[in-house]
Amino acid sequence: MNDPNGMVYHNGTYHLFFQHNPDSTVWGPMHWGHATSQDLLHWEEQPIALFPDSLGTIFSGSAVVDKDNTAGFGNNALVAIFTHHNHTLAQNQAGLPQYQSLAYSTDEGKTWAKYEGNPVLPNPGIRDFRDPKVMWHEESEKWVMTLATKQSITFYGSPNLKEWTKLSEFGEGIGAHGGVWECPDLISFDDQGKKIWVLIVNLNPGAPNGGSGGQYFVGDFDGTTFRPFDTDTRWLDFGRDNYAGVTWSNTGNRRIFIGWMNNWEYANVVPTETWRGATTLPRELGIEKINGKWYLASQPVPELSAITSSLQKLPSVDGGESLSLKATAGNLPETYRLDLTYPADHTFEVTLKNDANEQVTFGYAASERCFFIDRTLAGNHAFSEKFASKDSAPRIGDQPEIRVSLWVDVASIEVFADDGLTAMTEIFFPTQVYDDIVLQGQSGARFTDVHLYRISPTTN
């Protein structure tokens, strides 16, 4: 799998579609794969939802529940809005290969039909013209499409999902422009009855630690124009491996995000065999004001508590001690979560280790106010010279103590610091599972509320 697509919640089921090439584990003619879940944790793969057709292969996009039958496919029809990518036009340098199309399902997402009037939004002359994210804008009573258009975002409006008019364009002279803008999302949050709007814009390359990443802007959206409150570039995740992430539609006030845990710098060559690509944990996004500015905070969804059980609690550990959790708790399970708190004016490291002398270190450098993940010694990195790296992230939180939560799987770590104000997601390929964690701080500064949890696998 590559990008998550068409995420929509409907009648108790979370639908997750995804960029998928059924014939290979490298990128190729894209289809929409499909998986469903009732709890965001246990997923069941469904038959492929969208196949390439005469208009092209099926690139990224979104899905909505058309409650009022604005499109005429039926009340509560699921409607997917996606990019058709025409390979023949793409090869012709002057060709304009991308345009937006619809497909719909009236049987809860089991079967899909393409709309016979496709494409609904023809290409106006922009080569990179893709990844529509559609939402219902209540105040102006219309559908709004957020579309990546080369290195800007263009907003389109529609009464019926079939006819689209350009509303405005955003992005010139603001944000990161190291690469093409892709997979955007426009979401709102409630701040005491007032809406705060966040525009997520993935880009590739141009992320702070190289390659693919997701930036975001915070501001106001009046149904036509997005106006950011400031010109800062903010990042959803500073790790190397959280790309093309967007949120579910039709989840009420919840903003549930999932990303593709990969980076285009090496996505096609990672050393996996039967699979390639995975999602991040589902994360709930919130907003928080720090020093007068709004930021996104990402937290693993609370549903995860159903597969989380306590393994060991250490109320207080001296930072000078170099504490091995294998020594105190025994071999770690393959999937676990570790929470801890540490004073922000001191430096600390948390190292995942195995018996093959491989390791991944997450840490905080107090003098630079920076978190980091070092995967230079993590295991196999021969597949790409871009892979082995030490990556850093600024601390955004401003409390005297840093609270971090590390979610570790066999081949990934997801770090949420300061309640998710700084997030870092990275993958790695050790030859053996990391079955030990070593905590190392500075003497006199104590780790507190160290809590290790087992995370039960949700697949066999």
Among 131, 358, 418, 436, binds ligand FRU (CB under 6 A): 131
Element (H, E) at 13: strand 13-20
Toward ligand FRU, which CB reaches closer, 18 or 453? 18
**Distance separating alpha carbons of residues 3 and 32, to the nearest angstrom:** 10
Beta-bridged to residue 358, according to DSSP, are none
Residues ≥6 apart with Cβ < 8 Å to 229: 218, 219, 220, 293, 294
Q: Cβ 262 to ligand FRU, closest distance in Å?
A: 9
**Distance separating alpha carbons of residues 305 and 314, to the nearest angstrom:** 20
Q: Cβ 35 to ligand FRU, closest distance in Å?
A: 17
Among 2, 70, 188, 263, binds ligand FRU (CB under 6 A): 2
Q: Does 3 bind ligand FRU (CB under 6 A)?
A: yes
Toward ligand FRU, which CB reaches closer, 267 or 437? 267
Q: Does 99 bind ligand FRU (CB under 6 A)?
A: no
Residues ≥6 apart with Cβ < 8 Å to 194: none
Reduced to 3 states (helix: H, G, I; strand: E, B; else coil), residue 271 is coil
Q: Which residue has the tokens 């012709």?
A: 92
Toward ligand FRU, which CB reaches closer, 19 or 280? 19
**Distance separating alpha carbons of residues 114 and 55, to the nearest angstrom:** 11
Toward ligand FRU, which CB reaches closer, 3 or 426? 3
Q: Does 83 bind ligand FRU (CB under 6 A)?
A: yes
Q: Does 60 bind ligand FRU (CB under 6 A)?
A: yes
Positions 165 through 224 that interact with ligand FRU (CB under 6 A): 182-183
Residues ≥6 apart with Cβ < 8 Å to 326: 332, 435, 436, 437
Q: Cβ 180 to ligand FRU, closest distance in Å?
A: 8
Toward ligand FRU, which CB reaches closer, 130 or 337? 130
Toward ligand FRU, which CB reaches closer, 5 or 361? 5
Toward ligand FRU, which CB reaches closer, 131 or 374? 131
Q: Does 62 bind ligand FRU (CB under 6 A)?
A: no
Q: Does 244 bind ligand FRU (CB under 6 A)?
A: yes
Q: Does 49 bind ligand FRU (CB under 6 A)?
A: no
Which among 3, 131, 241, 374 is annotated as catalytic?
Answer: 3
Q: Does 30 bind ligand FRU (CB under 6 A)?
A: yes
Q: Cβ 57 to ligand FRU, closest distance in Å?
A: 8
Q: Cβ 393 to ligand FRU, closest distance in Å?
A: 22
CA 385 from centre of chain: 24
CA angle (20, 260, 451) in 5-degree steps:
140
**Distance separating alpha carbons of residues 254 and 257, to the nearest angstrom:** 10
Nearest residue to 215 (alpha-carbon basis) of 245, 252, 194 = 245
CA 15 from centre of chain: 16
Toward ligand FRU, which CB reaches closer, 119 or 223? 119
For 22-179, list the strands marked E by DSSP.
31-37, 44-50, 57-66, 77-85, 98-105, 113-114, 129-137, 142-149, 152-158, 165-170
Q: Does 130 bind ligand FRU (CB under 6 A)?
A: yes
Q: Does 123 bind ligand FRU (CB under 6 A)?
A: no
Tell me, by CB under 6 A, how many residues bind ligand FRU. Answer: 12
Q: Does 280 bind ligand FRU (CB under 6 A)?
A: no
Nearest residue to 434 (alpha-carbon basis) of 298, 370, 338, 340 = 338
Q: Cβ 30 to ligand FRU, closest distance in Å?
A: 5
Toward ligand FRU, which CB reaches closer, 19 or 412? 19
Whether residue 101 contacts residue 115, with contact meaning beta carbons closer than 8 Å, is answered with yes
Q: Which residue has the tokens 């702070």?
A: 208
Q: Does 151 bind ligand FRU (CB under 6 A)?
A: no
Q: Cβ 83 to ligand FRU, closest distance in Å?
A: 5
Q: Cβ 238 to ligand FRU, closest distance in Å?
A: 18
Residue 3 annotated as catalytic: yes
Q: Cβ 183 to ligand FRU, closest distance in Å?
A: 6
Residues ≥6 apart with Cβ < 8 Å to 48: 20, 22, 31, 32, 33, 34
Instruction: Convert 393-419 to b/e letters by CB count within 10 Å (16 or more is b).
Output: bebbbeeeebbbbbbbbebbbbbbbbb
Q: Does 59 bind ligand FRU (CB under 6 A)?
A: yes
Neighbours of 330 (CB within 10 A): 12
Question: Active-site positions?
Answer: 3
- The residues of the shown chain that bind ligand FRU, judged by CB under 6 A, are 2-3, 19, 30, 59-60, 83, 130-131, 182-183, 244
